[in-house]
Structure 1
C-alpha cells in the first residue's frame, strides 16, 4: 500500500529535523577529533617531561592518557567500516608494505573447477598471471606474513578468464588476518595489555605497527 505524499510544510519540517541531527553528529565528531589531537599533544609533552626524569606519578598519568586516547581512536574507527569497503571513494589511510624480514607462507587459491578445465565450455585453461596480496598473521611469539596468491587462467577455446575469489579479509583494507585481530583483541581485553604497550612489544620484534592502527583494528572487530 503506497504512502500518501507529504505536504510541503511536513517535508520542510522533516528536512529541518534531519539537518539539525546531521549538524549535531558532525559537531560531536569534530569534538572527538579535537579531543584526540589534544590528548596526543598532552602525551607528547608529558613524554618530553618524562625524558631524563624518573617520576612514577608522571608515568601513570601518561598511561592513563594513552588508554583514553586509544579508546577514542578505537571508537572513531567503528563508523568508518562501511566507507572502507573496496571501490568506495573517500579518505583512506595509506596501506604500508609489510616488513621484508618476516617469513612468508604462500597460499595459492585455485578456482573451484580446477586449473585445467574451463567451467563454462570444458576447454583447456592457460595461465595469464596472478593477483597477490599480503596480510599480517601471528603465531605465539612468532610473526609471519601470509601471501595469498590467486592465479589467473584463460580458456583457449572461449577466452573466459577463471580465477578463485579473493579470500575474506578480517579488516577492511587492512593487513591483519583473523588470527592477528584475535591476538590484539584478546591481549587488550583479556590480558589487559594496552594497545600502546602491544605496539611497543611489536616494535621490539622489528614490526612497526602504530597504536592508532591497532585501535582501528579493535574498532572494526567491535563492529
Structure 2
C-alpha cells in the first residue's frame, strides 16, 4: 500500500524509518535489476555466438538451443520490465547503490568450439624417415607363363608409430 500525504504519520522517527526501508528496497531492486541486465547481456552474446556457429551448416540441436535461449531472454526482459524500481527521490542513495557490487549471475557454460575434421590424407612432414617396401609380382605371368612388363605402380602410405618416432612406410605394387 502506497501512503498518501494525508496518511503519513507526523512523527519524524517513524518517517525516517519508512524512508530507510524504502531506500533499502530501492537498493535491493537496483541490484536485482543489474543482475538481470547482466544475465540478459550474457544470453544475447550466447545467442549471437550460436547464430554465428550455425552459419554454414544445418543443425537441429543449435536451432532448438537458440529457440530456448530466446524464450529465456524474453522471460527475463518481461521480468525486468515488471520489476523496474520506482524513481528515488534521494540522489545520494542512488549513487551509493551503484557502488555496491552486483551479484554475478550464474554464467552458463558456453559450448566449446569444435574444429571441423579434416578429410583426406593427413599432412606428413617431408623430413619424416621413409621406408620403401616393393612387392614384385615376378617376371612371368602365372597363368600363361608369358613375360610381364612394368606399366606403373600403386603406392600406399601408412603412418607408423614406433617408440615415439614417426616414419612413413611406402608399399609399391608393381603393375
Q: TM-score range by the shorter chain?
A: 0.3 to 0.5
Q: TM-score, normalized by length of structure 1?
A: 0.32
Larger Rg over CA atoms: 2
Higher helix share: 1
TM-score w.r.t. length of structure 2: 0.39
